[in-house]
A and B are shown apart, each in its own frame.
Chain A
Amino acid sequence: MELLNALVAFTNFVGVPAIAYGSQLAIGALGVTLVYSVLRFSNFAHGDTMAFGTMVTILVTWLFQGAGISFGPLPTALLALPFGIAVTMGLVLFTDRTVYRFYREQKAKPVVFVMVSLGVMFMMNGLVRFIIGPGDQRFADGERFIISARDFKKMTGLDEGLAIKTSQGITVVTAIIVVALLFWFLNKTRTGKSMRAYSDNEDLALLSGINPERVVMYTWLIVATLATIAGVLYGLDKSFKPFTYFQLLLPIFASAIVGGLGSPIGAIAGGFIIAFSEVTITYAWKKVATYVLPETMAPDGLVQLLSTDYKFAVSFAILIIVLLFKPTGIFKGKSV
């Protein structure tokens, strides 16, 4: 019984949150990895693209809520999501036409693009704060839990409860659908294959009659979709705050690099590795330890390796270790 309680406590405080957070990071990292492999630079504006998409979704959600439209037990934001994606697609295409295209025509080096994306990041950042403000926004509505801790305790008779939030369930289901669709698109469709061909060998893609501008456009459309979905899922699960989304850049890049930049499977694996490391290292293990260890050895302190305020140190440390010892990442990316 003690062990079972320990397991439930572990799942409740580490397993479920880490899986949800990992899925959000994975979708974010997929966007970063796509830009890196097709457009050949690291897009620092990705976090703020996520923020922009989420902001639009929140605004549409408010509009729906005002008009009395709801999605039953599911959050209204899911209904607003397609609108958020569409507007974000518009924004990234506009950015591409007005900013990135100029540098493509100059055949600028990738590092120039990185700096350009930094500028785009500041612009988007300002835009989001200008429209919705820098404050915290909560926009999750509908049913809050799939299983609440109290119901779980009643059902099982255990001392420990296991709560699964609706947002966590939605996150995992959406992540599975998104990843499956993306892989199908990249591996089975003509357009997806042309994107891979362009990423593999630009000159030969050109000689095969693949239009680079089309490839770039499709990439931005997919990236806008992924960024908005990742942003909305994160916002539903926690809350929306422009600065937090900007900070998400670090764990997202860490995920993409740990998994191997340019490898979609790597981005997913990296997302979960970063999420699990962050959550396990900042979790106070006292409760689980008390169940598992004999009474005499029960810990007095919290048994928390790192305060949650330092959670970014975890991504940063993993990033450094991977770059020092296995710079190509787990799934042999291109960052050698």
Chain B
Amino acid sequence: MSGNPYQEDRGNKDATITNTHGAGTMQPAHRKSGPTKKVEGDSPFLIGDCMTGGYGKGPDILHDCTIAVNPGEIAVIVGPNGAGKSTAMKAVFGMLNVRSGSVRLDGEDITQLTPQDRVVKGMGFVPQTSNIFTSMTVEENLEMGAFIRTDDFSNTMEQVYHLFPILKEKRNQPAGELSGGQRQQVAVGRALMTQPKVLMLDEPTAGVSPIVMDELFDRIIEVARTGLPILMVEQNAKQALEIADKGYVLVQGRNAYTGTGQELLADPEVRKSFLGG
């Protein structure tokens, strides 16, 4: 794997001497943050502008891909399997080597920052899988979300409990014992604890039942109404576009169609190719 002899374990699976549980798999584009610079001119609050790049030294997966979101909006990235939806989101979050193009947040070029520093800048990211601390209680999960804050975060926690009442009920239960939908609520709640300026959700409804999915979408709309911009990758294109202010249809790492959710839903071309008629 990647020619690094230290990452070769020669098939060792002996868990009595090695613990792979929860080990890090994230491979950020930059190990150390580079400089940021102020950018003049009018541009969306968060924008991944004309991004081209791929993982590590690998081939380009994104080609001139642009994704943007403004306060109070929900932007949704949809597209067929392998279109680079999650990859586009990860590029915005700094997990991808962006070779040309830039990522700008609130008038600042953050292309060279590590994912951790982007969190400090105000990006809240909810990964698709392993997005909660399973062995810790719901409340501890939220506390960990607020780790970078030095002020009193009990107000934010109350807001999260207000948004997700079920979490308040289960605050002292290990998060790993909750159902799929409740876990996603914990994950979103954890990200909200930093009081982010923008929230990024990677397939928040993956693997939950349709009823729970509707409820999750309702909650996401509720969060967006507070003015927080939300960027979301979704499998369920139809439902996602219905709540989207802005939709991006990606095909093979390129912007295929862009428009408001309603426009895309009405577009016969999009309907035929992605929404099943």
Binding site for B on A (CB under 8 A): 36-37, 40-42, 103, 106-114, 190, 193-194, 196-197, 199-210, 257, 261-262, 323, 327, 334-336
Contacts and interface: CB of A to CB of B under 8 A. Distances in A.
A63 to B, nearest CB: 38
Given A111-B18, A193-B143, 9 more contacts: A40-B18, A107-B7, A194-B147, A200-B135, A201-B134, A205-B133, A205-B144, A207-B119, A208-B194
A107 B144 CA distance: 24
Contacts of B15: 261, 327, 334-336
A110 B18 contact: yes
A110 B25 CA distance: 13
A208 B148 contact: yes
25 contacts: A37-B19, A41-B17, A42-B16, A103-B6, A107-B4, A107-B24, A109-B8, A109-B9, A111-B10, A111-B12, A111-B17, A190-B143, A193-B140, A197-B144, A200-B134, A202-B22, A206-B24, A207-B116, A208-B194, A209-B120, A209-B148, A210-B144, A261-B15, A262-B19, A327-B16
A107 B135 contact: no
Nearest to B123: A207
Contacts of B147: 190, 194, 197, 208-210
Contacts of B17: 41-42, 110-111, 114
Given A201-B134, A204-B133, A110 B127 contact: no
Contact of A197 (B8, B116, B127, B136): B136
Majority secondary structure of chain A interface residues (helix, strand, loop or mixed)? helix
A203 B18 contact: no
B96 interface: no
B127 A261 contact: no
Query: Interface on chain B toward A: helix, strand, loop, or mixed SS?
Result: loop
Interface residues of B, number: 41
A327 B13 CA distance: 13
B148 A107 contact: no
Contacts of A209: 116, 119-120, 147-148, 194
Contacts of A106: 4, 6-7
B23 interface: yes
Contacts of B134: 200-201
B19 A193 contact: no
Contact of A207 (B20, B22, B115): B115
B123 to A, nearest CB: 10
Nearest to A323: B16
Given A193-B143, A201-B22, A335-B15, A112 B127 contact: no
B130 interface: yes
B26 interface: yes
A257 B17 CA distance: 10
Nearest to A193: B140
Contacts of A201: 22, 130, 132-134
Given A208-B148, A209-B147, A261-B19, A112 B130 contact: no
B163 to A, nearest CB: 19
B197 interface: no
B25 to A, nearest CB: 6
Contact of A206 (B12, B16, B116, B143): B116
A207 B16 contact: no
Interface string B88-116: 00000000000000000000000000011
Those 8 A-B pairs whose CB atoms lie nearest each other, nearest first: A110-B18, A209-B148, A202-B24, A108-B6, A109-B9, A106-B6, A42-B17, A335-B15
Contacts of B130: 201, 203-204
Contacts of B136: 193, 196-197, 200
B247 interface: no
A40 B19 contact: yes
Nearest to A37: B19
Contact of A196 (B9, B16, B135): B135
Contacts of A327: 15-16
B131 interface: yes
